[in-house]
Structure 1
Amino acid sequence: MASAFVVGDHFKMGVTELLEKTDSSLPEGLRQKLNIIVEKTGQTTLPFSTARQLNVYLKDQGYPLYLHELLEDSSLHLPGFVKPPRNPELVARLELIKARLANEEYNKMTRNVNNQEMNRNGTLADFGREVRSAKAVVVTVFNFLVTVVATFACSYMGSQYLFTETTPRVVSAVIATSVVGLAELFVLVRTMEGELGEP
């Protein structure tokens, strides 16, 4: 926070004239302070308290010189900011919080990673489920084919007692095989729908 002015040459010249004109009426303490400010070379500061004393003196004595005129080429003196030291306990707590947040973010990023992962397509458990599912489909298709072939063979062989010619025997075997194949296909579709979770 500002507590002084940085005075320029205009202020020094005005105060020098004031000091020469007023020999006895200027208070001794204020005279000494102003003499010190005028005699300094380089950057010179005027404290606010001294500026107030000078302003009161100029008003009381009725001088045509005003303080704001003296301070035309002056500026505020702003002291440099001194950064206070950080509390070591606070720094330790902040480091602990940063580490905890970094750990939570790492866990969030790696929660889908599984050390049993075989490749990018899934884990070993997923691979086992897929093998079992494929095995069930192969067994079902093989069962369907065996049932259809066995039905044709049984119908063809059993129809020899009814028909003597080959053509009616083949036709009757194809009809029986079609009926059994459609029934087997219906059961197969219903089973697959049940496995997929559909009604």
Structure 2
Amino acid sequence: MASSLVAGERLLCALGPGGELEPEKLPRKLRAELEAVLSPKHAGADRPGSPRCLIPFRLLRDLHQHLRERDGTLYLHELLEGSEIYLPEVVKPPRNPELVARLEKIKIQLANEEYKRITRNVTCQDPRHGGTLSDLGKQVRPVKALIITIFNFIVTVVAAFVCTYLGSQYIFTEMTSRVLAALIVASVVGLAELYVMVRAMEGELGEL
């Protein structure tokens, strides 16, 4: 936060010998503080206007109050022509080496997890390590399960048709009615089996 001002040529000339702010026109205490601030020993430089010739805002307020009490024609904003607000350089504290090392470790872990997530579905087949046979077994198992499911579906529908056809002889005497009843029951059973198969396939796809 700025708390001082870099003295410009206008202010230095006014405070110098024969300037507008002669010793008898300023309070002794204020004059002494201004000379101490602008002295080469305090400023660290011999040439006027050095960036290290700084005047605190407190002294400027006192000078402004004195000029207002005098009720003259000299104003503070005129004396501050060429002066600049001094903004000290912010020195960043050194980072903790342990914290930096820990952050780097976390970045590496996150990068590895992201890489594993991206390459999760990528398989590398190496014939030297028998990868082909193991992958072939993984591909055959779903096909085998699908064939068993289709076979069970056909057996269930046929069994429902046969059972209904044979059981309907006690209700219907005509073959057409018995066949129609058997078809209706087989269709209902088939639709129920299809519904169960679709739900099971959705569950497997969701797990993938």
TM normalised by structure 2 equals 0.51
Partner AA of 1:45 in structure 2: L
Paired residue type of 2:119: T
Q: Assess if the C-alpha contact under 8 Å between 1:19 and 1:31 holds in 2.
A: no
1:34 pairs with 2:31: no
C-alpha contact 2:38 2:54 (8 A) present in aligned 1? no
- CA drift at 1:77: 0.7
Provide the residue aligned with 1:105 in structure 2.
Answer: 114
Task: Note the 1:43-192 alignment, pairs <5 A.
Answer: 43=50, 44-118=53-127, 123-127=132-136
Task: Report the secondary structure of 2:14's partner residue.
Answer: helix
Aligned-pair Cα RMSD in Å: 3.1
Provide Cα deviations, 1:34-57, integer angstroms capped at 9, x if missing partner.
224555424121111111111111
- Partners of 1:126 and 1:85 in 2: CA distance: 53
User: Alignment identity in percent?
Assistant: 48
Note if contact 1:30-1:54 (Cα within 8 Å) is conserved in structure 2. yes
SS at match of 1:5: strand
Counterpart of 2:175 in structure 1 is none
CA spacing shift, 1:36–1:58, aligned 2, 3 Å: same
Report which of the two structures shows the higher radius of gyration computed on alpha carbons: 1
Structure 2 residues without counterparts, runs of 5 or longer: 41-46, 144-208
Q: Is the 8 A contact 1:117 1:123 kept in 2?
A: yes
Aligned residues: 128
Structure 1 spans left out of the alignment, 5+ residues: 134-199
Structure 1, residues 44-82: CA drift from partner, whole Å, max 9, x if none?
A: 211111111111111112221111111111111111110
- For residue 14 of structure 1, what is the amino acid of its counterpart? A
Question: 2:38, 2:55 within 8 Å by CA — same for their partners in 1?
Answer: no
Contact 1:117 1:124 survives alignment (8 Å) = no
Q: Are the structure 2 counterparts of residues 57 and 29 from structure 1 closer, same or farther at C-alpha, using a change threshold of 3 Å?
A: same
CA distance in 2, matches of 1:46, 1:111: 66
Give yes or no for contact 1:6–1:77 (8 Å, CA) kept in 2. yes
